[in-house]
A = this chain, B = another copy of it.
């Protein structure tokens, strides 16, 4: 499920608006007032449902956490298989992938459980998985370039079908194996 459960209750509407704005501008650049304005409420109302602000991001990321741990826990024998898993994971949760790739490291507090603590610097974990245990100069560049290609490729093609983006990115990145 790539989009949110669009319930009509206020909580869901806030989540949907926040997901959209976070993907467009990033977490730090989106204020509670922005989100509130998009839903037609005051920022205090948003703060009432999600307090503190971190919980918004945490709740958005939560459904992706399980898939993330599956990916991080798995071992891949080749670079291309690792890419396959990564692309599938990212595309499935592309609406929040920017949150995880860029902004998550600066979120101060973790969600109630311990999940958030582990997710904290997970971009670097993904990177470490991409470059493997003994990185060379080339594989370092390749690892970061792959992450950048994923983020930009996702964020700026939200209007395209999920499967189209997935196949395109898989096709492109597989040429880097």
Contact = CB atoms under 8 A, between A and B. Distances in A.
B153 A168 contact: no
Given A28-B29, A29-B28, A137-B164, A172 B156 contact: no
A153 B155 CA distance: 18
Interface string A146-163: 111111110111001000
Interface in A9-51: 28-29
A153 B145 contact: yes
A141 interface: yes
Secondary structure type dominating chain A contacts: helix
In the complex, which range does the number of interface residues on chain A fall in? 20 to 34
Contacts of A71: none
A25 to B, nearest CB: 9
Contacts of A137: 157, 160, 164, 168
A122 interface: no
A137 B176 CA distance: 20
Contacts of A141: 153, 157, 160, 164-165, 168-169, 172
A149 B142 CA distance: 8
Interface of A: 28-29, 137-138, 140-142, 144-153, 155-157, 160, 164-165, 168-169, 171-172, 175-176
22 contacts: A28-B28, A137-B160, A137-B164, A138-B168, A140-B157, A140-B160, A141-B153, A141-B172, A144-B155, A144-B156, A144-B157, A145-B149, A145-B150, A145-B152, A145-B172, A147-B152, A148-B149, A148-B151, A148-B153, A149-B149, A149-B152, A172-B176
In the A-B complex, the 7 residue pairs with the smallest Cβ-Cβ separation, listed nearest first, are A148-B152, A148-B148, A145-B149, A145-B153, A141-B168, A149-B149, A144-B156
